[in-house]
Chains A and B, each alone.
Chain A
């Protein structure tokens, strides 16, 4: 299981992924018309919007995940329940009461 990230690590990652995410969205909207036109040509051009949303889901998804961690909104770890180990019963041995 991955180790729990500290808030400080999360903030660093928010900045890194945030910059990458801004770059991706910035590129899409800076060249919005040519990109939209090219991505909607159909046929093999279908790979372009699909690849783009995979890229966005990685970059912006990582940004979002770290943002919530940095803000202190984390999942509750399931309480570690210790399995009660059955106490070993002493073996029944034949004893001689001599």
Chain B
């Protein structure tokens, strides 16, 4: 018995599209397992470029995101890197942030239309990525050679000293901080997730620089947040019948392989590499999104741009986004290879000394 699918919602799968989704799934999973988020920003436009309608692309992407995050979180929990309590507190506050973000989007959509909304999304993307990504990148570059963060009183240490009831203790993260500093980080994560679909770009730096977690704990805990939020989002989308299980299954086939490799990578390479990869990806994605801004300004009548140039910039924007993900993956794999080689050499030396 064969059933004809609604061609408006579901595309015909070709070998090329299957290979494309599997590879992007693997690379996205690798980056997610390593920095806690990533992949989604390429997968949604990637699926849309194959002809998948926007809502189905978002829904199918989200349906692959939460099991991937679950598998990554379990793996990293075994390495002692996940703070479940922090993840759950952040996830609940992020849930509220998502609702606020959606309401804000609706207000902008009603007031300035689709182009205004797209412009708001792109500008938020560029501003957040340049500011936060730039700082993360700077911090990674100025870390000492062993990959340890700089000494000195940080913002997080100052905030931890403020005894503002109720105080929360996060054992794995080794942090005691007021709820009033924890919840806003989760809220901002959710708001960003509702706006640009990659909450982790605020969640992970927030957990590092405001709450005071290490890069390892922050990136691992982000997977708990991604799981909770992804599951909630998927229930919503699936109830509207928007999940294409074929797309989800193909991406999942690649991403479950990648996410475990990325998680293993965090135990092999030095800690500052997590910040380096995250900062670098954020800055490259910022360039990609900046290329989309003139198109929306033209649609709003605020700027004149040739349609040919707009189409070229659209293509360049997508390619740069893919390059960001690929760059992150290559750095992770290259560093893992180097670190494993160095470890093997060290073990060999130790064996010689013992003999």
Contact = CB atoms under 8 A, between A and B. Distances in A.
Interface of A: 2, 25, 28-29, 32-37, 39-43, 45-46, 49-50, 52-54, 56-57, 60-61, 64-65, 67-68, 73-76, 78
A57 to B, nearest CB: 4
Given A35-B245, A40-B241, A57-B252, A65 B1 contact: no
Interface residues of B, number: 47
A42 B241 contact: yes
A34 B68 CA distance: 25
Nearest to B237: A46
In terms of DSSP, what is the predominant structure of the interface of chain A?
helix
B67 A53 contact: yes
B260 A61 contact: yes
A74 B257 CA distance: 14
Contacts of A54: 67
A40 B243 contact: yes
A45 B66 CA distance: 18
Give me the 10 closest cross-chain CB pairs, A-B, nearest first. Answer: A46-B238, A42-B241, A57-B67, A75-B267, A40-B241, A61-B71, A46-B239, A53-B67, A64-B257, A33-B3
B74 to A, nearest CB: 8
B238 A76 contact: no
Contacts of A68: 260-261, 264
A77 B263 CA distance: 13
B260 A37 contact: no
B343 interface: yes
A61 B253 CA distance: 9
B251 to A, nearest CB: 10
Contact of B252 (A29, A34, A41, A53): A53
A28 B246 contact: yes
A41 B241 CA distance: 5
Nearest to A33: B3
B59 to A, nearest CB: 9
A43 B239 contact: yes
